[in-house]
């Protein structure tokens, strides 16, 4: 009789290295989660911190420019009209805009220290191409280093002959005191004026000006935003060069609402404000 071969005995011994492999293969997961949580925490701090690098995502205008506003209107009696734009106006038909007697455009360039308007370069080129006087503005965050904000603006904006003066947009406090706000504003103005030998323009709204800035920067051209026709012209011991009279303006060639402005002077006066570099 042929002997049957014995079936191979199954080993009951588990590989000793499997558990070690599992342990070694999962160590990175909690580390990755920890790094991710730390990164999100840092983003959260920057978002909620006044003047943080992400503050531009959430800051609110302290005093709205539409205080006491009852109606939107177009002021009469001013021959020089313009608009101001930012990334909110992605596409602009400059030919159509110019046909509506728009003579100048202020374009947002920077905000805080790190934020740059993504449509600035396009708007800057197109305004020049269509012979619309152009100016660049910086949105000021008082809680951030003013000199660094000025350097960021100067790095982004290169003025050419015939451009309007740089503009400092001051309309939030970031919970800074009046003295801190004014000191920062003055530092930004000094750095930019030293670069171009040209006094920058200060933009603010009527209520913010009266509460925080009145009487402190009278040597600088003032661009005021206020939409009440009965009070827009009345500034204590000062006068305005530009007046933003509505944030709900309409123009052919631009979708949606936009800010419209007038200049308190003639076209010759406006040309005289523009940058003229010294001849070498």
Token pair for residue 128?
Answer: 């020049």
Q: Characterize the bridge pairing of strands 133-139 and 102-111.
A: parallel
93 class by beta-carbon count within 10 Å (0-12 exposed, 13-18 middle, 19+ buried): middle
Catalytic residue among 63, 84, 117, 163: 84
d(CA 122, CA 142): 28
Instruction: Say which residues have a Cβ less than 8 Å from residue 192's Cβ, sequence separation at least 6.
Output: 150, 153, 154, 166, 168, 200
Residue among 117, 163, 171, 259 flagged as catalytic: 171
Crossing angle (nearest 10°) for helices 146-156 and 178-196: 30
111 is catalytic: no
Report the distance separating Cα 78 and Cα 190, nearest Å. 31
**Catalytic residue list contains 219:** no
Structure tokens at 138: 């910086």
Catalytic residues: 84, 171
């Amino acid at each position: 009789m042929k002997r049957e071969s014995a079936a191979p005995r199954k080993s009951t011994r588990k590989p000793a290295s499997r558990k070690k492999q599992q342990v070694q293969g999962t160590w990175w997961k909690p580390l990755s989660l920890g790094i991710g949580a730390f990164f999100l925490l840092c983003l959260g701090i920057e978002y909620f911190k006044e003047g943080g690098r992400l503050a531009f995502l959430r800051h609110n205008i302290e005093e709205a420019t539409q205080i006491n506003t009852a109606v939107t209107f177009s002021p009469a009696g001013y021959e020089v009209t313009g608009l101001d734009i930012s990334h909110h106006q992605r596409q602009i038909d400059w030919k159509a805009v110019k046909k509506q007697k728009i003579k100048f455009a202020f374009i947002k360039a920077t905000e805080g220290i790190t934020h740059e308007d993504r449509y600035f370069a396009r708007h800057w080129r197109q305004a020049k191409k269509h012979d619309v006087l152009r100016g660049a503005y910086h949105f000021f965050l008082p809680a951030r280093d003013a000199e660094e904000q000025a350097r960021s603006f100067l790095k982004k904006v290169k003025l050419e002959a015939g451009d309007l003066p740089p503009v400092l947009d001051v309309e939030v406090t970031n919970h800074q005191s009046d003295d801190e706000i004014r000191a920062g504003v003055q530092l930004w103005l000094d750095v930019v004026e030293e670069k171009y030998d040209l006094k920058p323009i200060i933009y603010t709204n009527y209520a913010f000006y009266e509460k925080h800035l009145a009487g402190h920067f009278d040597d600088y051209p003032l661009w005021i935003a206020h939409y009440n026709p009965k009070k827009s012209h009345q500034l204590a011991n000062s006068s305005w060069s530009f007046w933003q009279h509505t944030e709900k303006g309409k123009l052919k060639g631009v979708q949606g609402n936009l800010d419209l402005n007038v200049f308190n002077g003639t076209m010759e006066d406006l040309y005289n404000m523009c940058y003229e570099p010294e001849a070498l």
